[in-house]
Amino acid sequence: MKGWKTLAAVGVLGLALAGSDGKAQLLVWDVSGDNSPVELTADVLIDANLSLAPANNKLTRVGVIQNTGANSYNSRNWNITNTFDENDKYITFQLQPVSGFQMTLTSLQYAINGSNTGPGTGRWGYRVGSGPFTLQTPFNIPFTLGPTLATWDFPDFTTDQLVEFRFWAYGSTSINGGTSGVNGTVRIGNIAGNDLILNGSTEIIPEPSTAVLLVLGLLGAYQFSRRRFAQ
Ligand SMILES: [Ca+2]
Ligand SMILES: [Ca+2]
């Protein structure tokens, strides 16, 4: 029995060392509303083990147009049809760990809202590398006033690859239940404090040799305990 207790103790210690805090944050935006074409992660957090390559860690528009809006990353010219198109009219950001590190992504929190004639349907998605998008179930975009952070709690995953997130607003029915227009706006932000939070953590990629050594060590401890027990 003692051997198994040793094994259990070492195992628990190993789990504690390898465990990641699901509440940690990888990227955080408190958008400024300065209406620059690209919203940098200013006044926000970038996990220390994420790559700072120029294309990473910033909100960028594709097919949609910057629109004036205080305290928000605001855009117009969204897809006002009911045909979802993942390759047009969206906001995107991407991230990747530095060499030797991996990241575990757990959930996305966001403040999305818009004007009366903005398209009323929104959804997020992400892809790893050039793989297919994992898509959020569409949600109804609320009017500008009074939003709080909503959460997309996707299944946790771990990767050392580039991950891209996109947000799409679309649909012929507008936020106020009427007809969407190309000048209708949908924004990230317009709340006090953080507007967009990607939760997760980074950790050193475990080396295979380390894992082998750990297993050998466990076997050694078990054999040692058995021998002592037998005596
Ligand atoms: Ca999750
Ligand atoms: Ca804010």
pLDDT digits (tens, 9 = 90+) for 112-141: 999 999 999 999 999 999 999 999 999 999
The pLDDT of residue 17 is 42
The pLDDT of residue 126 is 98
Characterize 125-158 residue by residue with b for buried, 16 or more Cβ atoms within 10 angstroms of its Cβ, and e for exposed.
Answer: bbbbeeeebebbebeebbebeebeeeebebeeee
Q: Which of the ligands is closest to the CA of residue 136? A: 1
Q: Which runs of consecutive H residues, i.e. helices, occur in the chain? A: 2-18, 208-230
Supply 27's token pair.
């990227």
Tell me how far the alpha carbon of residue 190 lies from the centroid of ligand 2, in angstroms: 6
> Which residues, in sequence order, are CB contacts of 22 under 8 Å at separation 6+?
106, 156, 199, 200, 201
Place of tokens 């970038």: 46
Tell me how far the alpha carbon of residue 199 lies from the centroid of ligand 1, in angstroms: 9
- Give the span between the Cα atoms of 172 and 195, in whole angstroms: 26
Q: Which of the ligands is closest to the CA of residue 155? A: 1
The pLDDT of residue 33 is 74
Tell me how far the alpha carbon of residue 112 lies from the centroid of ligand 2, in angstroms: 11
Tell me how far the alpha carbon of residue 82 lies from the centroid of ligand 1, in angstroms: 28
Tell me how far the alpha carbon of residue 113 lies from the centroid of ligand 2, in angstroms: 12
Q: Which secondary-structure segment (H or E) carries 168?
A: strand 163-174
Give 165 or 12, the one with higher predicted confidence: 165
Tell me how far the alpha carbon of residue 156 lies from the centroid of ligand 1, in angstroms: 4
Tell me how far the alpha carbon of residue 152 lies from the centroid of ligand 1, in angstroms: 8
- Give the span between the Cα atoms of 56 and 51, in whole angstroms: 7
Place of tokens 């940690």: 24
Confidence of residue 13 (pLDDT cuts 50, 70, 90): very low
Q: Which of helix, strand or coil describes residue 202?
A: strand
Q: Model's pTM, two decimal places?
A: 0.80
Tell me how far the alpha carbon of residue 196 lies from the centroid of ligand 2, in angstroms: 9
**Amino acid of residue 129:** G
The pLDDT of residue 20 is 41
227 φ/ψ angles, rounded to the nearest 5 degrees = -65, -45
Does the structure show a pLDDT above 70 at 7?
Answer: no
217: left (phi over 0), alpha (psi -120 to 50) or beta: alpha
pLDDT (average), residues 2-16: 47
Supply 140's token pair.
């109804």
- In the chain the domains, ranked by start, together with CATH numbers, are 18-206 (2.60.120)
pLDDT (average), residues 63-78: 92
